[in-house]
Structure 1
Amino acid sequence: MDIKLQSIKVRDLIDGYVNDPDNGVRGYGGKLDIRPPYQREFRYDLKQKQAVVNTILKGFPLNIMYWSVVGDGEFEMIDGQQRTLSICEFRYHDFNITDPERGVLFFSSLTPDEREAFLNYELTVYFCTGTDKEKLDWFRVINIAGERLLDQELLNAVYVGPFVTDARRYFSKNGCPAYKIGSDYLNGNAIEQAYLATILRWAARKEDIKEVSEYMSKHKDDANANQLWAYFSAIITWVRSTFTTYRKEMKGLDWGLLYDTYHNNIYDTVELEHRIHDLMEDDEIMKKSGIYSYVLSGDLRDLSFRTFDKKQKREAYERQGGICPWCGNHFELEEMEGDHITPWAEGGTTTADNCQMLCKDCNRKKGAK
């Protein structure tokens, strides 16, 4: 990993500045991509931009910026985007500052000495060169101040390419396609990369890849993210067709895992809905979201049931005289756990007369059967 600290004058930073939909946002003689595809859509407000300019005019130090070396003489802005945009926009009269004595000031309103001082102000920049893994580690280290990049944004920064660019179009924009068809089933929001992080995790697992970073590295140079989008669309279509009534408990479930495991099965969706409805009405079930996994798997571990309260456990303990009915040994109360004599699956409920106290070992053995 090669990391170099350099000073860059403002006049060099703003050289060749362009900000338009076709050419993107560039500076430093056209060699610096100020807003790479992985950057979030965030902008300083006017007061923040004015603070950057006033810092420079007063000769105070600005926070260090970080650029990634991406080619021969080409760079990407990793940290410092909003400070850079503030500098460029002030120079080209997109906003003004306010002086208590002189009033509204644009760049052209400054004195010649002030303009020269602004243009000759030296910014401190770290230039980072290395492998994708080294860059990711480096970005995580520097990602400690300001508008922090989330982990998925850091991954986008390292594995930038046609795949990430296209994936962000599907999953990372306000009103993106993923939001339109899947927002009811996903946690977080698109602009903070939550949707993209979720589908990448699902897709990596589907390919037996442990780390999302490894999956992104593998697909970095894919021409597009069509396959990823098709997989996501298939998941959402399956969820909607299998579970015909939407409930808030469906939001945020690991639908990728459920789809991969069960989508080839054929279900009577009417019967499935009746089962879900009845289970939702069951006061014994505390983890209602687990119902969706349970009706597919039949595994009781997908559910979480009501537990006995302290009074019920104390009554059962006294009734048993502290003896575990499974092993016949005596235990203190805190060494035992409440257990349903008749299990929920056989109609048992969480009532005092259905409570027995088992030692922890026996309770584990019973639960494993």
Structure 2
Amino acid sequence: MKIELKQIKIRDLVEGYENDDETGRVVAFGGKLDIRPPYQREFIYKDKQRDAVIETVRQGFPLNVMYWAVREDGTYEVIDGQQRTISICQYVAGDFSYLFKHFHNLQKDEQGQILEYELMVYVCDGTDSEKLKWFETINIAGEELTKQELRNAVYAGPWLADAKRYFSKNGCLAQKIGADYLNGSAIRQDYLETAIRWISRNSVDVYMAKHQHDVNANALQQYFRAVIDWVESTFRPTKERKKIMKGVEWGPLYDKYKDNIYDFKMLDNEVARLIKDDDVTNKKGIYPYILTGDERNLSIRAFTDNQKIKAYERQVGICPICKQHFELAQMEADHITPWCEGGPTIDTNCQMLCRDCNRRKSNK
């Protein structure tokens, strides 16, 4: 692998700058530099970070080194430095002002000083795997790439380009209809990864490899839309209840239960009851529990050590089912009246069973 240090003037960098929001294509350097290759995230700099780049350039201070990779056709792609590159290009193009002045408002000598500023760029020429490995290495010191961002590099193609329109941009479809139900963010590829994980049943790489050369990602966005529509029509959540719905694995639940018919009022009353129940320590598990009936989703409050000791002493170490004597460490706490039947986690509803009896009771 060959690595060469070059000095690139801003004048040359911004030539042919183009940022197409529809396709996600961002180029500069006379159209020869791809600023946003598939593995790069969307522009995420805040105003303060963007302004710091422009101030550094205007003061003539050194800007952090950037990294480009040479492609087979002789063009380049940004390996590291996308945010700084776009900040510079946007400023010169007049997309934003700094200190209340746009670039075109500056004096000629001020414009000249910026355009003649030299960026330090390491240019890497090697195989795809070498460049990707280099990319992973130089990003260790920065904001580490997510697994999905790395997958995007491997499975680039028309399908991914279309999928990113729906799932990877600020204001995209997934953000508009699903932000209340998803963890993470669109620009860090979390929404895209979640949607693929749902539709593929956790086989993200297999799904992306299979569809890499599809002309569009319609199937993925239609599936995602169907999941969110089902969630909202089934539960009709309020703004407050959406807080405990965020991050639930809705895709698998949709796949299994979408054809069931539910009484909305019964669901609503059950959700309200579980929210108020202090024994339910994992409120986010309420909706999976309602659909599956699996109490493990709720992390029901366990009996305290003190409650266990009191029950053990009350029973004199005798298991009430098999009538055998056991040491405390050989027994487990159990709700006399099961929690699902309204039995609370209080002293008077606690009994100690031997492990075998407790397992048999739990399996009934």
Whether TM-score is above 0.5 comes out as yes
Find 2:345's aligned residue among 333, 339, 350: 350
Q: Deviations over 1:277-317 (max 9, x none)?
A: 33333333332332222222223333321222233122112
Other-structure match for 1:162: 158
Distance in 1 between residues matched to 2:170 and 2:63, nearest whole Å: 35
Partner SS for 2:352? strand
Q: 1:137 to 1:6 in 2, by over 3 A?
A: closer
Q: 1:79 to 1:368 in 2, by over 3 A?
A: farther
Tell me which amino acid in the other structure corresponds to 2:78: M
Find 1:231's aligned residue among 223, 227, 249: 223
Other-structure match for 1:101: none
The answer as to 2:27 corresponding to 1:32 is: no
The answer as to 2:292 corresponding to 1:297 is: yes
More moved, 253-262 vs 289-298: 289-298
Tell me which amino acid in the other structure corresponds to 1:200: I
Mapping of 1:1-369 within 5 angstroms?
3-11=1-9, 14=12, 17-22=15-20, 24-36=25-37, 38-43=40-45, 44-51=49-56, 62-63=64-65, 65-67=67-69, 69-85=70-86, 106=110, 108-109=112-113, 115=116, 119=118, 123-130=121-128, 139-205=135-201, 210=203, 212-246=204-238, 247-248=241-242, 249-325=244-320, 328-333=324-329, 336-359=331-354, 363-364=358-359, 366-369=361-364
Q: Deviations over 1:196-231 (max 9, x none)?
A: 2211211221xxx63x23322222222111111100
Distance in 2 between residues matched to 1:53 and 1:13, nearest whole Å: 14
Distance in 2 between residues matched to 1:16 and 1:367, nearest whole Å: 68
Distance in 1 between residues matched to 2:354 and 2:131, nearest whole Å: 52
Tell me which amino acid in the other structure corresponds to 2:273: D
Q: Deviations over 1:93-114 (max 9, x none)?
A: 99899xxxxxx9636248xxx9
Unaligned segments of structure 2, at least 5 residues: 100-106
Q: 1:257 to 1:90 in 2, by over 3 A?
A: closer
Q: Are the counterparts in 1 of residues 43 and 83 from structure 2 also a CA contact under 8 Å?
A: no
Q: 1:265: how far off? A: 2.0
Q: 1:128: how far off? A: 4.8
Partner SS for 1:14? helix
Q: Are the counterparts in 2 of residues 52 and 86 from structure 1 also a CA contact under 8 Å?
A: no
Q: 1:250: how far off? A: 1.7
Q: Are the counterparts in 1 of residues 6 and 121 from structure 2 also a CA contact under 8 Å?
A: yes
More moved, 142-151 vs 236-245: 142-151
Q: 1:251: how far off? A: 1.9
Q: 1:87 to 1:232 in 2, by over 3 A?
A: closer
Q: 1:73: how far off? A: 1.8
Distance in 2 between residues matched to 1:74 and 1:336, nearest whole Å: 70
Tell me which amino acid in the other structure corresponds to 1:50: E
- What TM-score do the two structures reach when normalised by structure 1? 0.77
Aligned residues: 344
Percent of residue pairs identical: 48
Unaligned segments of structure 1, at least 5 residues: 98-103
Tell me which amino acid in the other structure corresponds to 1:315: K
Q: 1:235: how far off? A: 0.6
Q: Are the counterparts in 1 of residues 18 and 27 from structure 2 also a CA contact under 8 Å?
A: no
Tell me which amino acid in the other structure corresponds to 1:17: E
Partner SS for 2:151? helix
Distance in 1 between residues matched to 2:166 and 2:207, nearest whole Å: 17
Q: Are the counterparts in 1 of residues 56 and 63 from structure 2 also a CA contact under 8 Å?
A: no
Q: 1:180 to 1:155 in 2, by over 3 A?
A: same
Tell me which amino acid in the other structure corresponds to 2:185: N
- What TM-score do the two structures reach when normalised by structure 2? 0.78
Tell me which amino acid in the other structure corresponds to 1:348: G
Q: Are the counterparts in 2 of residues 324 and 331 from structure 1 also a CA contact under 8 Å?
A: no
Distance in 2 between residues matched to 1:326 and 1:27, nearest whole Å: 77
Alignment RMSD (CA, Å):
3.6
Q: 1:354: how far off? A: 1.4
Tell me which amino acid in the other structure corresponds to 2:184: G
Q: Deviations over 1:160-216 (max 9, x none)?
A: 3222222222122222222222222222332333222211211221xxx63x23322
Q: 1:152 to 1:53 in 2, by over 3 A?
A: farther
Distance in 1 between residues matched to 2:235 and 2:304, nearest whole Å: 34
Distance in 2 between residues matched to 1:357 and 1:164, nearest whole Å: 56
Partner SS for 2:4? strand
Partner SS for 1:277? helix
Partner SS for 1:339? strand
Q: Are the counterparts in 2 of residues 307 and 350 from structure 1 also a CA contact under 8 Å?
A: yes
